[in-house]
Structure 1
Amino acid sequence: MTPTLNLVPTEDEIAIRESVRALCAKFDDGYPRRKFDAGEPATELWDALAGAGYTGILVPQEWGGGGAGMTELAIVIEEVFKGTGTLPAAMVVSAAVAGPLLAKHGTQEQKERWLRKMADGTFMMAFAITEPDAGSNSHELRTTLRRNPDGGYLLSGQKVFISGVESADAVLVVARFRNDDGTLGLPTLCVVDVDCEGFTRQPIAMQFIAPERQWQLFFDNVQVDADRLIGGENGGLAAVFDGLNPERIAGAAGCIGIGWRALEKAAAYAKERNVWGVPIGQHQGIAHPLAEAKIGLELAALMTQKAAALQDAGAPGAGETANIAKYSAAEAAIKAIDTAVQVHGGNGLTLEYGISDLYWFARLARIAPVSREMILNYVAQHSLKLPKSY
């Protein structure tokens, strides 16, 4: 498939943006903070997205989904963040990662069992890969899956910073298969129900402002039947890599959306706020930082579109562009939000104006799902062919 990058939006893309904007207009500016203060997930927003068919936009049509690509999902994520200032975590971990992995690597029975319900938003999967001691080095994962003499497998280990588990029905867990001689094999993917025996979770206290919590997960000899393995005992590596690019593109789209939200609020304030008889936006000390923020967001958006186009076409270079898109979008979003705070002055730090809460997602995107340092390592090694530094 030949990649196509539409510099002029298609009618379908325009229709998606308009539809999502209309959906998001039903949620007021205080919605994310109210959900956070109440310790509740953004259920109403998820239900609205599911009702419009957006939670299954990447799922093939034969399984009840929209049959679209990352280009369309990125538009949805950008517009939801731009319109509401938040996003249900499942739009990334379930809709962008778990669903497509299941569609590509799952058996027919697994797709029938889970994918149809994921397409209509009635079933959600969290995604668990990060571990306390492995950090960015996924080769050091220690959560293991071993054969159970009584049949099936036993899952043991722990995960950390796993998003939205309280809303999920199951977790797609990345483990390593423990061979009979005790050696660890390649990554293995398995689906674990959140209420199964031996699976416990603990919330992590975070400064991060988001409706969904971050969780530490513990697996104590959790029974996993053979039909819950995605790709077999050692077949999870390809599936995991297939999930990395969509996750990074989705994160980039979220940063762009939240950056636009901050920038639009700041530009409106700069036109309305009068000091010394003129709008503050008339001064270059205000206008130029806002213009720089717009330029940064436009450039990041273009790279995100390119990454999505390459990903949808299965073309070479999707990994590089997905990393660059995620890096540039996080930096652009932080610049836009910081500029918006500065333009608002003291008002930028109040809850009333809703600017400072936007910072946390953008700042998180510098760390997750891959840190800016690891992206720089990737570009240095794979794009510039420099010696590996780690």
Structure 2
Amino acid sequence: MPLFNDFGFTDEQKMMRQSLLKLAERALPPAKIRELDRTDGWPTEAYRALAKDGWLGLPYPTEYGGLGGGYKDIAILLETLSYHYACFGTTYMTSVIYAGLQLLHSDSEGLRQDYMVPMIKGDLYLAFALTEPQTGSDAASIKTYARADGPDYVVNGQKWFITSAHVADYLVLVVKTDPDVRPAHSGFSMLLVDTRAPGVSIKPIETMGRHTTHTNQIFFDNVRVPGRNLIGAKNGAWKALMRGLNLERMCIAACGAGNAQKAVEIAQDYATQRIQFGQPISRFQVIAHKLADMRIKAEMARLVTYRTAEMMDAGADARMETAIAKIVATDNDFECAHIGMQVMGGAGYSMEHDMQRLFRDSRLGPIGGGSNEIQRNIITKLMGL
């Protein structure tokens, strides 16, 4: 673990990271990771282990069975899980961060008790559904519509690129409830939708990487949702979405930082053992400099992630910093895997070694969670440009 220093961590955070590493190594060994990647499986046993040890409650208040952790604690957890396996971090993030926290910040104690608390215990898994086929970066243009019908809502539409929806019990679904209001995002609401409800159809999307937490398309055909499953105020979802997306960027950065460190470790181990012309290839300056570049990039991903998390813990306005962290960490993650592939040559390109998986999995980072081009739009707007 070449970059896993713990400078600036509390004793509790150091213990947390060691505990999480041991859990990951025990519940999700390398052979199992390769099997899941090959078969598009889902890390059920490892996720249950996280639930059993109470980690699903890290960002939640103690009165709901949580641990009351802060943003830096979340960053440490996600960096650690993603260092072990990128999709392990995403598995956690999807239900606990993206979907579950929307329930925490809603005004419904019933939803918190009936769905959030079981989610913390590991009895329910949630997914978050915002993106649509024609509305990726332009989130304000979603078309999935929920029409009020007596005490219920009736939902019609389609969602696209929804992570882990295929294993979710419920979806936190973003819909239009007022299609005529301007600006359009003033008519957004969130509903908690049972994935087993009549009219819900979930189909996998085949992708280059992230085979474990693969993405899905979801169709809604006159799906009836109880009115009590409205999350927050009707037509008031946009503000909650913006709060959630800001945290999402920091979390994606933490995952990128973890995966980047794994790429450094794999490449360094290979280069010190691969003998060419009578010596390890790490002795050749051209390879040593590539490894140094990888370490610089991975360390920068860590630094920007933790600085951002500390700002958020302090209550500072970190909108620009979360966008910067997301760009730096995900770009550097992919570049580390890309350089690592070159260091390993044909071995890195072969399915026998893990570098090809890190390369495939890391490519999503600059695209998902608001593309890095969109993050630059956010930065320039905050700069007043």
Shorter-chain TM-score range: over 0.9
> Quick one: structure 1 residues 218 and 207, their matched pair in 2 at CA, closer, same or farther if it must change by over 3 Å?
same
> Quick one: structure 1 residues 356 and 48, their matched pair in 2 at CA, closer, same or farther if it must change by over 3 Å?
same
Match of residue 173 from structure 1: 173
Match of residue 19 from structure 1: 19
Deviation at 1:257, TM superposition (A): 0.9
> Quick one: structure 1 residues 371 and 183, their matched pair in 2 at CA, closer, same or farther if it must change by over 3 Å?
closer
- Map 1:336-375; keep pairs closer than 5 Å: 336-375=336-375
Match of residue 253 from structure 1: 254
> Quick one: structure 1 residues 85 and 228, their matched pair in 2 at CA, closer, same or farther if it must change by over 3 Å?
closer
Deviation at 1:151, TM superposition (A): 2.6
What's the TM-score once normalised by structure 2's chain length? 0.93
Cα distance in 2 for partners of 1:15, 1:336 equals 28
Cα distance in 2 for partners of 1:314, 1:146 equals 38
Conserved 8 A contact 1:29-1:354: no
Match of residue 161 from structure 2: 161
Deviating more after overlay: 133-142 vs 30-39: 30-39
- Map 1:1-390; keep pairs closer than 5 Å: 8-26=8-26, 27-87=28-88, 89-148=90-149, 150-178=150-178, 185-316=186-317, 318-383=318-383, 385-386=384-385
Deviation at 1:110, TM superposition (A): 1.1
CA offsets, 1:225-255, max 9 Å, x none? 2210111211211211121022111211111
Conserved 8 A contact 1:255-1:333: yes
Cα distance in 2 for partners of 1:313, 1:102 equals 23
**Identity score, percent:** 31
Note the aligned Cα RMSD (angstroms): 1.9
Deviation at 1:372, TM superposition (A): 1.1
Deviation at 1:360, TM superposition (A): 2.1
Deviation at 1:95, TM superposition (A): 0.9
CA offsets, 1:199-226, max 9 Å, x none? 1112112222421221111111211222
What's the TM-score once normalised by structure 1's chain length? 0.92
CA offsets, 1:39-98, max 9 Å, x none? 321111211211221122111111111111221122111111212353164411211122
Quick one: which amino acid aligns to residue 130 of structure 1? T
> Quick one: structure 1 residues 352 and 180, their matched pair in 2 at CA, closer, same or farther if it must change by over 3 Å?
closer
3-state SS, counterpart of residue 122 of structure 2: coil
Deviation at 1:28, TM superposition (A): 2.5
Which structure 1 segments of 5+ residues have no match? 1-5
Cα distance in 2 for partners of 1:373, 1:182 equals 26
Conserved 8 A contact 1:39-1:211: yes
Cα distance in 2 for partners of 1:313, 1:284 equals 43
Match of residue 3 from structure 1: none
Aligned pairs, how many? 378
Conserved 8 A contact 2:246-2:319: yes
Deviation at 1:351, TM superposition (A): 2.1
Which structure 2 segments of 5+ residues have no match? 1-5
> Quick one: structure 1 residues 312 and 118, their matched pair in 2 at CA, closer, same or farther if it must change by over 3 Å?
farther
Deviating more after overlay: 325-334 vs 198-207: 198-207
Cα distance in 2 for partners of 1:167, 1:66 equals 25
> Quick one: structure 1 residues 279 and 90, their matched pair in 2 at CA, closer, same or farther if it must change by over 3 Å?
closer
Conserved 8 A contact 2:86-2:361: no
> Quick one: structure 1 residues 151 and 382, their matched pair in 2 at CA, closer, same or farther if it must change by over 3 Å?
same
